[in-house]
Amino acid sequence: MENRRGAGRRKSGFAGPFVCAALLAAGLAAGGQTADQAWLRGPNRLILFGKVIALGSSPIEQSAAQELSRSISHPASVKGGVFSTREWRENSLTVVGTAQEIRKLYPDVPVPGDLKPDEYWIWGRGSQGPSFSVVAGGDERGALYGVFATRRLPATAEMGKLKVDYPLRDHPAVPIRWVDEWDNADGTVERGYGGRSIFFEGGKVREDLAPVAEYARLLASVGINGCNLNNVNGAAPFLTSEWLRGLKRIADAMRPWGVHLAMSVALVSPEKIGGLKTSDPLDPAVKAWWAAKVNEIYALIPDFAGFTVKADSEGQPGPASYGRSPADAANLLAGALKPHGGVVLYRAFVYNNHLDWSDMKADRARAAYDIFHPLDGSFAPNVIVQTKEGPIDFQAREPVSPLFGGLRQTSQAMEVQITQEYTGQQRHLVYLAPMWKQVLDFDLRADRKSTPVKEILEGKSFHRPLGGMVGVAGVGRDAWLGSPLALANLYAFGRLAWNPDLTPEQIADEWIRQTINIDPVVVSTVEKMLMQSWPAYEHYTGFLGSQTLTDITGSHYGPNIESSERNGWGQWHRDDHEGIGMDRSVATGTGFVGQYPPEVARVYQSLNTCPDNLLLFFHHVRYTHKLHSGQTVIQYIYDSHYKGAAEAAQLVAEWETLKSRVNPALYDDVHARLEYQAGHAIVWRDAIVQYFLKQSGIPDNKGRAGHYPGRLEAEDARLTGYKAIDVTPWEDASGGKAVTCADAKSCMAEWTWGRKAGRFDIAVQYFDLQGGAARFVFAVNGQPVASWTANATLPSRRPDGDNSTRYTVRDVELKPGDVLRVEGTADGNDPAALDYVEVRPAPMAAARAPQ
Ligand code: GCV
């Protein structure tokens, strides 16, 4: 295979027919929702001398030619105009088409005879005069992908120059490259943090589908070929004839970009919307109902991709209700889809959420393997088992799901989550490519041979033909993912699904150059920030494989350590006064470790070999247990949380170095987000550290846990109107308490400064509740110094770690006897609740101090 890994950065040198103008406009586009808001910025990227023509008339080839034409800029506009000769421009030509079309019209072009569907081949001739370039595909979609690869080239090239080693040829690693959206009919998006649905509103398909076409363009640009629209929960209504007619409009909008529509279906649809008395997968009437329904779908959407199924899971009924297996259910749907070429993605996310916490052998992590491994070999060929990357649920850190090694005769897809449900909900910067890459590269050692997960998906290990990657995207109307830097995750998902050998750094580099700009300082700084972000998040939210210690029965956002325990959901970490962790060993625990092939099981089974970062996932240990590093578990808890919060603050400092180098609107937006994150990382740090200090009774040997110099608690202040309350969970507030202005409109908390004089940064920790925009004023000796409005939309409707927020007033002069005051004005459902103020010497003052 030529240039299989051809997407990396190229060295300068010979300039082929595609010449990089290196005129990337800075910053992200504003205005209507377009793919340009992500990484498909406007023109001035690529100069193509000459005309672009599509050889075929299909919508996909037309989009391809159009896409390339968008990238053309007039050579005269290039600084220096070095390439501008009229003859060159007018006589150059770029053709886009399938290999077959190219061969027919240009028999002298050496287009290979074995290009596969979705594969591309790019070739060119003539760099010193009029050029002739070819973008060929194994099929139309391959040509489109070739165009997007061409479009990416200048961004990955050195400034002003581009060397292309023709021909460029590449194909995707796996045939199934889908995004799943969890959109509801009413326009909400389950676990979506980018605004309301681009597909649905008010129980129907939206009139304006322009954003859908743009989304398909964005997806196609990174090789994604399927999009499942509707939530896997509550999917039944979408199969009604009225809905299907609406979905047809969406399929039509996505088709020109080669993105096929898929949908989630409920197994109980025959009863729910078909009027049948049963949905038993083996019932002939049920079978006939599905066949007729699928025929109806294909009559409207001839290139319909298939179904995704969540069944017998989290309240979604399934085959178990009829005494049938997931294979019975999957094969029923597969049978209906088979004549049309459709597939079934049956999710292995099947588990009992009423487990008995007191049963030390109960283990949710076991469920997927226990249920699906025995069914291996009984699925129809067009069934793909879709398994989440880890055995629980997209936590900050989990081991790889052992099921990938447990299905040898079944096609498999790996499900990852682009939308950051448990990883900061797009309010925290967490670049997930390094996490996904670890899973893809993880060698399961099946049959004691090298079997990295990516090779299982690619069909190299077990020779299954229909492997895939599915990313739960959660896009919405707020610039796709709500946060500009979060788009790196959508980009990375597509690029890894296309080529799992790319590195997260390479992908970050490509994305930054296309999205922000190509200034080398910007590229290296943002790449560093992206690469630091997941470790930082893990450090302050989920240590040593304890998952994400968040509110698992609520928002999945702020800290709430005990919410995981004493319920049936099975996201347990089993902490007590002595120790923490789930014993999943074969010898004394739940036996989950035994689901891995023996060489991997051996590593996890023993405390001596289990990696520290998964220790508590696999073992229950005392707080005094020594890690491989020699540190005790409890000291690691303290250290990693202080480290993580410092790393989050460092992200702000790094971004600040780019102030003059990036678009000002982008700068301000990202800066505000990172500052918020740094404050919330402190909320996380303090919650976890306070909790485990109390639980273990073991002090922090660096003296930080439980000691907060400069902190003035709101409940200890002189209060006017404010009333002290207990915060739940207690660890989410400093000292477990806060004050709230629930009974008055305007309230005050005052402290008298009794320490030495100086200049200080003063952090005000308050709770920003939704349903109102409380006002805060910080004053010294009655003189207002800062004021702000608490108008964020954060989860939870009572003061807790979901909405605890920090506002820092910088460089304030204080002397003994000064009165510090926070005045809060409640609004609507936001009672201007306050936790504390923290007074720290201002770094600027420290810098000014005489040496
Ligand atoms: C769509 C987690 C999420 C749910 C999601 C579920 C799933 O439990 O919290 O919102 O439901 O995973 O993947 O089916």
Tens of pLDDT, residue by residue over 724-773, are 999 999 999 999 999 999 887 899 999 999 999 999 999 999 999 999 99
| 273 CA distance to ligand 1 middle (Å) | 23
In testing the pocket of ligand 1, which one of 189, 190, 314, 552 has its CB within 8 Å of the most ligand atoms?
314
Of 63, 138, 69, 65, give the one whose Cα is nearest residue 95. 65
Question: CA-CA distance, 186 to 138, in Å (whole number)?
Answer: 40
- Work out the pLDDT band at 596, boundaries 50, 70, 90: very high
3-state SS class at 265: strand
Question: CA-CA distance, 355 to 121, in Å (whole number)?
Answer: 53
Q: How far apart are the first and last CA of the chain?
A: 63
- pLDDT digits 0-9 by tens, 185-194: 999 999 999 9
Q: What number is the average pLDDT over the span 511-533?
A: 95
- Work out the pLDDT band at 9, boundaries 50, 70, 90: very low
Contact indicator for 206, 197 with CB cutoff of 8 Å: yes
Question: CA-CA distance, 428 to 316, in Å (whole number)?
Answer: 31
Least confident of 36-45, 53-62, 287-296, 366-375: 36-45
Answer yes or no: is pLDDT of 83 > 50: no
Q: What number is the average pLDDT over the span 94-120?
A: 96
Exposure on the CB side of residue 98, measured as CA atoms within 13 A:
14
| 78 CA distance to ligand 1 middle (Å) | 50
- Work out the pLDDT band at 389, boundaries 50, 70, 90: very high
Please state the pTM of the whole predicted model: 0.95
**What atom in ligand 1 is closest to the CA of residue 421?**
9
Question: CA-CA distance, 734 to 198, in Å (whole number)?
Answer: 40
Question: CA-CA distance, 133 to 18, in Å (whole number)?
Answer: 8
Report the nearest-CA residue for atom 12 of ligand 1.
393
Q: Which pLDDT value is given to residue 25?
A: 37
| 338 CA distance to ligand 1 middle (Å) | 28
Contact indicator for 726, 686 with CB cutoff of 8 Å: no
φ/ψ of 669, rounded to 5, equals -60, -50
- Work out the pLDDT band at 153, boundaries 50, 70, 90: confident
φ/ψ of 716, rounded to 5, equals -95, 0
3-state SS class at 338: helix
**What atom in ligand 1 is closest to the CA of residue 388?**
13
| 231 CA distance to ligand 1 middle (Å) | 9
| 394 CA distance to ligand 1 middle (Å) | 10
- pLDDT digits 0-9 by tens, 320-364: 999 999 999 999 999 999 999 999 999 999 999 999 999 999 999
Q: What number is the average pLDDT over the span 210-228?
A: 98
Answer yes or no: is pLDDT of 27 > 80: no
- Work out the pLDDT band at 158, boundaries 50, 70, 90: low
Q: Which pLDDT value is given to residue 745?
A: 86
Answer yes or no: is pLDDT of 34 > 90: no
Structural tokens at position 156:
């990955």
3-state SS class at 367: helix
Q: What number is the average pLDDT over the span 427-446?
A: 98
Q: What is the DSSP letter of 353?
A: S
Question: Which residues on adjacent β-strands are paired with residue 796?
Answer: none
Contact indicator for 834, 767 with CB cutoff of 8 Å: yes
Q: Which pLDDT value is given to residue 744?
A: 79
Contact indicator for 471, 493 with CB cutoff of 8 Å: yes
Contact indicator for 373, 403 with CB cutoff of 8 Å: yes
Question: Of residues 36, 61, 139, 421, which has the active-site annotation?
Answer: 421
| 536 CA distance to ligand 1 middle (Å) | 25
Answer yes or no: is pLDDT of 10 > 90: no
Answer yes or no: is pLDDT of 80 > 50: no
Question: CA-CA distance, 72 to 43, in Å (whole number)?
Answer: 6
Q: Which pLDDT value is given to residue 47?
A: 59
Q: What number is the average pLDDT over the span 818-843?
A: 97
Report CA 179 to chain centroid distance, whole Å.
Answer: 11
Answer yes or no: is pLDDT of 248 > 90: yes
Contact indicator for 628, 612 with CB cutoff of 8 Å: yes
- pLDDT digits 0-9 by tens, 62-77: 999 999 887 765 444 3
Q: Which pLDDT value is given to residue 79?
A: 40
- Work out the pLDDT band at 535, boundaries 50, 70, 90: very high
Q: Which pLDDT value is given to residue 69?
A: 82
| 39 CA distance to ligand 1 middle (Å) | 28
Backbone torsion region of residue 87, taken as left when φ is above 0, otherwise alpha when ψ lies between -120 and 50, otherwise beta:
alpha
Question: Which residues on adjacent β-strands are paired with residue 96?
Answer: 54, 135
Residues with CB under 6 A from ligand 1: 182, 190-191, 231-233, 310, 314, 349, 393, 421
Answer yes or no: is pLDDT of 32 > 90: no
| 316 CA distance to ligand 1 middle (Å) | 11
Structural tokens at position 564:
């995981």
Q: Which pLDDT value is given to residue 14?
A: 32
Report the nearest-CA residue for atom 8 of ligand 1.
393
- Work out the pLDDT band at 78, boundaries 50, 70, 90: very low
| 391 CA distance to ligand 1 middle (Å) | 13
| 361 CA distance to ligand 1 middle (Å) | 24
Q: Specify the pairing of strand 746-752 against strand 774-780.
A: unpaired
Question: CA-CA distance, 368 to 280, in Å (whole number)?
Answer: 22
φ/ψ of 211, rounded to 5, equals -65, -30
Q: Which pLDDT value is given to residue 77?
A: 38
Fill in the amino acid letter for 550.
T
**What atom in ligand 1 is closest to the CA of residue 472?**
13
| 601 CA distance to ligand 1 middle (Å) | 28
- Work out the pLDDT band at 127, boundaries 50, 70, 90: low
| 511 CA distance to ligand 1 middle (Å) | 28
Contact indicator for 583, 362 with CB cutoff of 8 Å: no
Percentage of residues of the chain with pLDDT beyond 70:
91
Q: Specify the pairing of strand 51-54 against strand 758-767.
A: unpaired
DSSP states of 157-198: BPTT-----SSEEE--S-SEEEEEEEE-TTS-BTT--S-S-S
In testing the pocket of ligand 1, which one of 182, 346, 418 has its CB within 8 Å of the most ligand atoms?
182
Alpha helices in 542-663 (DSSP H): 598-605, 615-618, 633-656
Question: Of residues 393, 415, 700, 713, which has the active-site annotation?
Answer: 393
Q: Which helix (H) or strand (E) holds 667?
A: helix 664-696
In testing the pocket of ligand 1, which one of 179, 184, 345, 393 has its CB within 8 Å of the most ligand atoms?
393
Q: Specify the pairing of strand 746-752 against strand 819-825.
A: antiparallel
Query: Is 398 part of the annotated catalytic residue set?
Result: no
Report the nearest-CA residue for atom 11 of ligand 1.
233
Least confident of 36-40, 373-377, 625-629, 810-814: 36-40
Classify residue 377 by burial, with Cβ atoms within 10 Å: 0-12, 13-18, 19+. Answer: exposed
Percentage of residues of the chain with pLDDT beyond 90:
85
In testing the pocket of ligand 1, which one of 179, 183, 191, 425 has its CB within 8 Å of the most ligand atoms?
191
Query: Is 421 part of the annotated catalytic residue set?
Result: yes
- Work out the pLDDT band at 3, boundaries 50, 70, 90: very low
Question: Of residues 252, 283, 296, 314, which has the active-site annotation?
Answer: 314
**What atom in ligand 1 is closest to the CA of residue 182?**
1
Backbone torsion region of residue 230, taken as left when φ is above 0, otherwise alpha when ψ lies between -120 and 50, otherwise beta:
beta
Helices then strands, each counted (H, E), the chain: 21, 30
**What atom in ligand 1 is closest to the CA of residue 191?**
10
Lookup result for tokens 């005051």:
821
The mean predicted confidence, pLDDT, of the chain is 92
- Work out the pLDDT band at 160, boundaries 50, 70, 90: very low
Q: Which pLDDT value is given to residue 91?
A: 79
Structural tokens at position 95:
């053709």
Q: Cis peptide before 211, with omega less than 30 degrees from 0?
A: no
Sequence-separated (6 or more) residues with CB below 8 Å from residue 152: 7, 510, 514
